[in-house]
């Protein structure tokens, strides 16, 4: 499948997933919903691999990287995202994920010493200004609420959303290490989801969160959409793009996804951004688009059906 098709599919799916997450809030604890989502997604991927005749087990030199990827991408990031959407409208959480365009090079710099172009620093400063403008009114209201003795839940949601985007960027960096050890994208993604699910499930058990059975039709619909399309199809497209064009380019999806999420929030959540919010989104996404015009990184040369390395 050509790269532009992978880009389009992932953007359209992820543009709807931030709203779909709201269908899973309220009835069941957010972290438990994360467990349900990625448990179903990982089982679907393992079943797919079995049908292809793949051997499911991976050697430890591969598993250690899938475990790390699972912690960042399918554990920490999504626990933060689900909790953030309890306090912040889904479209605004999606806009925060556009900042992955800047977090990813920073993570690459910390992990591998990769230089960060000056364009990225300048565009990142502009994006932060756009985010500040976008969230100015709710931040001000939340601070006023705190001064009046309130809890300022919006500020917590904002911090969780930023943390989720940073965790996702860290996970994107680990993808290159996973691909260097094994070219079986379906299997390594399945294992990453499995490890992320196991870690979140252990945390839920340790904190006494109840694994209730979902009953609302909207929850079940959201779960299936998020697990199959949002987790399996979109992530396979995204990780394939990382292999072809590099993580710094694959995160360009972060420009399209927030636009689609804002349109859905306006239609389905009653979100009504004012002039300051529209300007903030324009500045943020415009700076992201500007950063993308920089030189491309070298892609990772890995084929989807390369043989699995065995011990």
Full pLDDT tens readout for the chain, 311 residues: 788 788 889 888 988 998 999 999 888 999 999 999 999 999 999 999 999 898 998 888 899 999 999 999 999 999 999 999 999 888 888 888 878 878 888 888 888 888 887 877 887 788 778 877 877 778 888 887 888 877 778 889 999 999 999 999 999 888 888 888 887 888 999 999 999 999 999 999 999 999 988 888 889 999 999 999 988 898 888 878 877 777 666 766 767 777 788 888 888 888 788 888 888 888 877 877 776 665 544 433 333 333 223 23
Residue 294 confidence (pLDDT): 56
Residue 80 confidence (pLDDT): 96
Neighbours of 272 (CB within 10 A): 8
| CA angle in degrees (0–180, nearest 5) for 218-223-227 | 155
In our burial notation (b when 16+ CB lie closer than 10 A, e otherwise), range 33-56 reads: bbbbbbbbbbebbbeebeeeebee
Residue extents of the structural domains in the chain: 3-292
Residue 73 confidence (pLDDT): 92
Phi, psi of 216 (to 5 degrees): -70, 130
Give the HSE-up count for residue 307: Cα atoms under 13 Å, Cβ half-sphere.
3
Residue 306 confidence (pLDDT): 33
Residue 248 confidence (pLDDT): 61
Residue 311 confidence (pLDDT): 36
Angle between helices 153-181 and 136-147 (to 10 degrees): 130
Indicate the Cα dihedral angle 42, 90, 159, 283, nearest 10°: 120
- Tens-place pLDDT, residues 25-60: 888 999 999 999 999 999 999 999 999 898 998 888
pTM of the model: 0.82
């Amino acid at each position: 499948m050509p790269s532009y098709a992978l880009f389009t599919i992932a953007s359209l799916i992820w543009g709807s997933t931030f709203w779909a997450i709201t269908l899973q809030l309220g009835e069941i604890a957010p972290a438990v919903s994360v467990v349900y989502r990625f448990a179903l997604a990982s089982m679907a991927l393992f079943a797919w691999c079995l049908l292809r005749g793949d051997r499911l087990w991976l050697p430890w030199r591969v598993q250690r990287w899938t475990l790390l990827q699972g912690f960042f991408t399918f554990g920490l990031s999504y626990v933060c995202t689900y909790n953030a959407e309890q306090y912040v409208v889904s479209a605004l959480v999606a806009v925060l994920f556009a900042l992955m365009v800047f977090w990813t090079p920073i993570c690459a710099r910390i992990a591998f010493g990769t230089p960060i172009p000056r364009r990225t620093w300048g565009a990142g400063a502009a994006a932060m200004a756009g985010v500040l403008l976008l969230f100015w009114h709710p931040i001000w209201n939340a601070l006023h609420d705190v001064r009046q003795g309130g809890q300022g839940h919006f500020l917590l949601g904002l911090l969780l959303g930023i943390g989720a985007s940073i965790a996702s960027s860290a996970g994107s960096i680990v993808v290159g290490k996973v691909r260097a050890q094994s070219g079986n994208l379906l299997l390594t993604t399945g294992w990453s989801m499995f490890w992320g699910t196991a870690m979140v499930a252990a945390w839920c058990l340790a904190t006494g969160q109840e694994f209730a059975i979902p009953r609302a039709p909207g929850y079940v619909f959201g779960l299936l959409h998020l697990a199959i399309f949002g987790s399996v199809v979109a992530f396979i497209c995204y990780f394939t793009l990382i292999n072809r064009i590099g993580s710094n380019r694959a995160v360009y999806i972060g420009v399209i996804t927030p636009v689609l999420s804002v349109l859905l929030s306006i239609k389905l959540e009653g979100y009504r951004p004012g002039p300051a919010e529209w300007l903030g989104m324009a500045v943020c996404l415009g700076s992201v688009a500007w950063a993308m015009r920089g030189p491309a990184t070298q892609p990772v040369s890995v084929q989807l059906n390369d043989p699995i390395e065995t011990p």
